[in-house]
Structure 1
Amino acid sequence: MPGTPELFALRSDAWQLRIAPSLGGAIVDARWHGRDVLRPMPDAELSARNVRKSACYPLVPFSNRIAFGAFRFGDTQYTLTNNLAGIQHAIHGVGFQQPWQVTESEASALDMRLVHTPDEHWPFAFDARQRIEIDGDVLRLSLRIVNTGAEAAPCGAGWHPFFPLDTEAGPTTLATGWAAMLVTDADDLPCGSVSPSAFGALDDTVVDNCFTGWSGAATIDTPHHRIAIAAGDTLRCAVLFRPAGQPFFAFEPVSHANNALNGNAPPMHVLAPGDALEAHMSIALQALPATFAASFGNRRQA
């Protein structure tokens, strides 16, 4: 599907969003009072339809990696075709690589639908609905995934939002709670778990790990604003990704552990025919507290 995808705009007094339904149901950019909350997608990457450079995309019907694209479910062994060049695992589901159809569009909300039939990338049928909505200073995201096949199927959900790091303006910090960090091996697969340590400034952090037992809430303080992330009970884990030398990080609320289909916990949900999995998350914005802003300004002048 060559060429720049059609964009849908959501606007309010506080927010301005652009969404590309045909590009994996992805958010292209999201600004709050004129400032980027999510990492904006460069025009060249948008024209090239490189969804992984977007601001946020849905993770449907699984998150992160399935080791070497192989797993057993029930009495059947499955092998998936790898979906990203240079990566030896199936990764991030199929929703971000398929066009979503707009079912309803309003000034402050967009509803999209993806109907998946079994193929070499995912052998189970499903019907997914995604809603992106502005509610005051809050951006709300929701997913509902229905098993439309004749047999039980594994299912997961989540989102992959990217956040910018403005290192010249000052540090960005993350405050959240989780029970364990999954340690990864040379193949980027979980091979154990440890008690997580607190992170300092994300600007100085290099990490790409899944955290289990996530509290469902996180606060990100940037030099410009405070971001409060909240998620429903379905999203029991979070992946924190900050590559070395890059001016961004990703904080991904997800429903299951990396490589869950090969034994890592918590597992993926299992849906009977006709059953649904629902997931919700919100991104709430507020100006920095005066005490924090004053402290931050003093640090910059020191």
Structure 2
Amino acid sequence: MSDLFFLKSGRLNVQVSPRGGAIRGASYGGIDALIAAGGPQGDMASFPLVPFGNRVEFNQFKVGDQIHRFQPNSTDPLYLHGDGWLREWQVEAWDGEAIDLTLRQMPDHITPYDYTAQQRISVAGDTLRLDLSVTNMAADPMPFGLGHHPFFIRTPLTRITASVTDCWSERDGHLPGEKDALPDDLNLAAGSALPIRFVNNAFGGWNGRAAIDWADLGLAAEIDTTPHHNVLMLYAPLDRQDFFCLEPMTHLPNGHHVTNLGGLALLHQGMEIHSCMTIEFRRKARG
């Protein structure tokens, strides 16, 4: 079976791979909007965050009296981004406008998590839609969260707007530190260009909507999440100026070590949570 499945609707073209359940590229009107820049081989343009996103401090967490432990699953010393991006998903259906994928993850020497995940990637009109769900299969309750990790093209005039209210600093281990006001050079609530510095911060109080404007490309995108993902991660490396990541998440990174689990949902056996993200593209006059 081919490693790539193609989705097309009007001016929107998307390539999907079962490896990592990942989008390998997405273009709109001939412009590469999501570019291959992430994942173990650097060829993923977006991947699912399941059973949660980002890192877990100490590679362990506690539920009740039970301590659960991880082993590192990438070059990072901390367990990172869950399992979905590193596993082969099963293709259940594909018709050129949508693809359905499933993943069965069982506990192993890397992770204590036991779950099934479902993903549907679809295109309609000018909109790319990502549906993701996860069901706890373990006998014991476990904390779960969902999210998406898209790699957007970055240009000199890229501008991002999102209704966020605060921002967490970054501490050692790329973990969230103190919550503070929005940075002067990255006030997403007012609309902001990307500063020429390393950015890897979680933004809170988000209403689940964001806008990206590429004035120099004549392209814009509207992001919407249902149910609302309260945390928006923004990652922009300094050593690469060709992409940035705007990552909707249902929880705060390292939520396993935060009061009230930082938005993670404690699921008992058979319980599930759902996530939906849409990206609607449109052409505009060049700025």
TM over 0.5: yes
- How far did residue 6 of structure 1 move? 1.0
Contact 2:107 2:113 in 1 (8 A): yes
Alignment match of 2:80 (pick from 60, 84, 91): 91
Distance apart, 1:40 and its partner CA: 3.4
Deviates more, 1:126-135 or 1:184-193: 184-193
Match of residue 192, structure 1, among 178, 189, 197: 178
Tell me, in whole angstroms, the C-alpha distance in 2 between the residues paired with 1:120 and 1:279: 28
Mapping of 1:7-26 within 5 angstroms?
7-21=4-18, 23-26=19-22
Query: Alignment partner for residue 239 of structure 1, among 208, 233, 245?
Result: 233
Task: Quote the sequence identity (%).
Answer: 31
Q: Tell whether 2:163 aligns with 1:177.
A: yes
* Secondary structure of the corresponding residue to residue 204 of structure 1: coil
Alpha-carbon distance between aligned partners in 1 of 2:258 and 2:109, rounded to the nearest angstrom: 22
User: Are the aligned partners of 2:69 and 2:111 in contact in 1 as well (CA < 8 Å)?
Assistant: no
Please tell me whether residue 39 in structure 1 is matched to residue 35 in structure 2: yes
Contact 2:128 2:280 in 1 (8 A): yes
Decide whether the 8 Å contact of 1:154 with 1:270 is kept in 2.
yes
Residue of structure 2 equivalent to 1:253:
248
Q: Which has the higher helix share?
A: 1
CA contact (8 A) 1:51 1:96 kept: no
- What stretches of structure 2 of length at least 5 have no aligned partner? none
Give SS of 1:266's match: helix
Listed as ranges, the gaps of 5+ residues in structure 1 are 297-302
1:262 maps to 257
Question: How far does the alpha carbon of each residue in 1:193-246 deviate from its partner, in whole angstroms, 9 at most, with x for none?
Answer: 101131532263531011122110000001220010000125221100001141
User: What CA deviation, in whole Å up to 9, does each residue of 1:16-37 have, x standing for no partner?
Assistant: 111111x110100101111111
Contact 1:51–1:97 under 8 Å retained in 2: no
Aligned residues: 277
Supply the distance in 2 between the matched residues of 1:62 and 1:161 (Cα, whole angstroms): 15
Task: Name the CA shift for 1:116/1:56 in 2 (closer, same or farther; >3 Å).
Answer: same
Which residue number in structure 1 is paired with residue 91 of structure 2?
102
Equivalence for 1:29? 25
Map 1:127-276 to 2 at 5 A.
Answer: 127-167=116-156, 171-197=157-183, 198=187, 200-202=192-194, 204-222=196-214, 223-224=216-217, 225-246=219-240, 247-263=242-258, 266-276=262-272
| In 1: Cα distance, 2:203 partner to 2:109 partner | 29
Match of residue 299 from structure 1: none
State the structure with more CA Rg.
1
Relative to structure 1, is the Cα distance of residues 15 and 231 closer, same or farther in structure 2, using a 3 angstrom cutoff?
same
The answer as to whether partners of 1:55 and 1:161 remain within 8 angstroms in 2 is yes
- Aligned mates of 2:193, 2:225 — CA distance in 1: 23
Q: Which has the higher strand share?
A: 2
Indicate the residue corresponding to 1:286 in structure 2: 282
Contact 1:16 1:31 (8 Å CA) reproduced: yes
Runs of 4+ deviating beyond 4 Å: none
The TM-score normalised by the length of structure 2 is: 0.91
Cα gap change, 1:160 to 1:202, in 2 (>3 Å): same
RMSD of aligned residue pairs (Cα, Å): 1.9
Q: TM-score, normalised by structure 1?
A: 0.87
